[in-house]
Amino acid sequence: MGGVFQVGVKLRTGAVAQVARSTPLRRAQLSFGLAWASEWALVVGLGVFAFREGGAAAVGIVTAVRMIPAALIAPFAATVADAARRELTLLCIGLIRAATLGAAAVLIGAGGATGAVYALAILATIAQALFRPAHSALLPALCTSPQQLTSANVVRGMLDSLAVLGGPLLAAALLATSGLASVFAFCAAASLAGGLVVVALPYDVPPRGERPARGGARAVLQGFSAIGADRGGLGLITRLGVAQTFTRGCLNVFSVVVAIELLDLGNGGVGVLNAAIGAGAVLGSILTFRLVGHGGLAVWFGVGVTLWGVPLVFLGAVPEVAAAIAAFAVVGIGNALIDAGGFTVLARLADEAVLARMFAAFEATLTLGVAAGALLTPLLIDLLGTRLALVAVGLVTPVAVAVRWAELRRLDVRMRVRDADIELLQNVPMLRALPEATIEQLAGALVHVEVAPGRAVFAQGDPGEDVYVIESGSAEVVRDGWAVATLGRGDCFGEIALLHEVVRTAGVSASADAPLRLSVLPRSPFLTAVTGYPASATAGERVVTERLDALAAGPELSGGDPT
């Protein structure tokens, strides 16, 4: 066991090192850690405030009421995050939360109106609902490889875990020593710092074929459309995510009821139980990179979702303090797997042009799941009692994952194909200079075809619509009836017609001895990527010039024979 732990720590250290070497990633991750510590401290502070004012029903209603507006508004706000630099969105969120939560702290300290405190918490939650979508859309632009993106999400999961641990513990300490107002004051200060740390973040904005519209239903719904169009990828992660966040909404209520009523731990016990989630998440994140570093992100995401439910069944059967702490810690382990697996897959599958809107749609859908769970839990407790309600809710995620297990395995196969496509594209000279996020988008646009031996891919004089990269086999380049070149695995062809807006300058056919397997890249994503960065545009023009010179030299210099 010690050896496994040491390996996990070593791999985790490698993930941290990949992030630590990048100044933009360090700053982005610090922003996330501060924002999430603020959010988890708010969960505890607001839960205690609501329970004091109206019991378990008030906790459920307040949780739902602050989540629903956030879920409805975030997709609209995300159109701005897709049109502007995304770190500016993070700054605005930090400023809004600092103002609203700071004002709530003043109201609580002065004995102000309860409704006003709730209203300010709702405004802060609406702003926070856009934070993770904007941050998730920012990370791919800061990374240089799929492995670094996975590492960034693993490290972010670690920070989330530390926030889940530290935020509630700090809230518990403040509740015991300074009162509720100080909890809200901490949330305001952490939010402000999280926004300021990303000011003027240095990175290249990936090029986009179309700038997203700033308004209108169509622009807003593109995030939902992206999820709906990819049922086996984005849609699958979202559906299982709803099961997990429904359980999370239930847990927001259960953590208060279990601590205060079932286990008689008092107000501070709410912070302790939530901190147990964080402690488990820290342990889980230490092991996560070892688990996901070799692939299988979708399956491990499914395991993480399952671990949100199974511990609740156990707690319902064994309602003891030690069992409760252990159960909440296992939930934290599941949360670490979800962060590393789910968010990496989502970031890699979605179109960059709608990435923030896709994440906002994802978060909005999941937020409604939290609201539904929070609203339903008081009813379940009244109907079944706390222990049976824990068991009933705990069965939701294991059943959901069992039903979708085969789909998760197919998604992992799809991601392995994507990795192979990325490796192929990274070996193309004119594409090698592109950032990882752009290579990922090109890999997602590829279509795989097979050409029979001796058959033409296209003829000289044909209009040019696609660029081709050879996966296996070989191809003959023919100009004016002469074979002027032979191409093999990793070679790219067809780019001249697209970059110079001319017809095909030569024909290309599969060699006669074997089928030709091709990755086909359509015009729009190719031109957007290659012309969007000076380095790739220069490399592309250099390749075109060399090939045109070779074609002009004719078969005498190229070694070709008449065909």
* pLDDT tens digits in sequence order for the chain, 563 residues long: 344 334 334 444 456 666 677 788 889 999 999 998 998 899 888 888 888 878 777 777 777 777 777 777 777 767 766 677 888 889 999 999 999 999 999 998 888 788 888 889 888 988 887 888 888 888 887 877 767 777 787 788 778 778 877 888 888 889 888 888 999 999 999 999 999 999 888 776 665 545 444 445 666 677 888 888 888 899 999 999 999 999 988 988 888 888 888 887 877 777 788 778 878 877 877 777 666 555 688 998 999 999 999 999 998 888 888 888 888 889 988 888 887 788 888 888 887 777 778 888 888 888 888 888 888 998 998 899 988 999 999 999 999 999 999 999 999 888 888 888 888 888 887 787 777 777 887 888 888 999 999 899 998 888 888 899 999 899 998 888 888 888 888 888 888 888 888 888 889 998 888 899 999 988 888 887 777 666 666 766 777 677 766 666 655 434 333 33
Q: Is residue 214 part of a domain?
A: no
Domain count, the chain: 2
**Residue of 412, 364, 369 whose CA lies nearest to 233:** 412
**SS3 of 208, please?**
coil
Q: Is residue 205 part of a domain?
A: no
Q: What percent of the chain has pLDDT over 70?
A: 86
Q: Please tell me whether residues 182 and 311 are part of one structural domain.
A: yes
Residue type, 117: V
Q: Is residue 216 part of a domain?
A: no
Neighbours of 157 (CB within 10 A): 29
Say which CATH number the domain at 155 has.
1.20.1250.20
Q: Is residue 105 part of a domain?
A: yes
Q: Is residue 213 part of a domain?
A: no
Q: Is residue 207 part of a domain?
A: no
Among 397, 421, 445, identify where a domain stops.
Answer: 421
Tell me which H or E stretch contains 79. Answer: helix 23-83
Q: Please tell me whether residues 479 and 374 are part of one structural domain.
A: no
Q: Please tell me whether residues 33 and 106 are part of one structural domain.
A: yes
Q: Please tell me whether residues 438 and 395 are part of one structural domain.
A: no
Q: Please tell me whether residues 495 and 349 are part of one structural domain.
A: no
- The pLDDT tens digits of the residues spanning 160-178 come to 778 877 888 888 889 888 8
Tokens of 94: 């930090």
* Host domain of residue 462: 431-558
The phi, psi pair for 479, rounded to 5°, reads -130, 125
**Residue of 164, 77, 136 whose CA lies nearest to 342:** 136
Q: Please tell me whether residues 341 and 451 are part of one structural domain.
A: no
Residue type, 392: A
Are 260 and 266 spatial neighbours (Cβ–Cβ below 8 Å)? yes
Contacts of 294 (CB under 8 A, 6+ apart): none
Measure the CA–CA gap between 544 and 496, rounded to whole angstroms: 6
pTM, whole model, 2 decimals? Answer: 0.69
Q: Please tell me whether residues 236 and 275 are part of one structural domain.
A: yes
Q: Is residue 497 part of a domain?
A: yes
Q: Please tell me whether residues 366 and 448 are part of one structural domain.
A: no
Q: Is residue 287 part of a domain?
A: yes
Say which CATH number the domain at 495 has.
2.60.120.10
Contacts of 423 (CB under 8 A, 6+ apart): none
Q: Please tell me whether residues 359 and 474 are part of one structural domain.
A: no
Q: Please tell me whether residues 406 and 451 are part of one structural domain.
A: no
Measure the CA–CA gap between 161 and 526, rounded to whole angstroms: 39
Q: Please tell me whether residues 98 and 236 are part of one structural domain.
A: yes
Among 421, 456, 485, identify where a domain stops.
Answer: 421
Among 367, 393, 421, identify where a domain stops.
Answer: 421
Neighbours of 461 (CB within 10 A): 11
Q: Please tell me whether residues 110 and 169 are part of one structural domain.
A: yes
| Dihedral in degrees, nearest 10, Cα atoms 173, 178, 179, 180 | -80
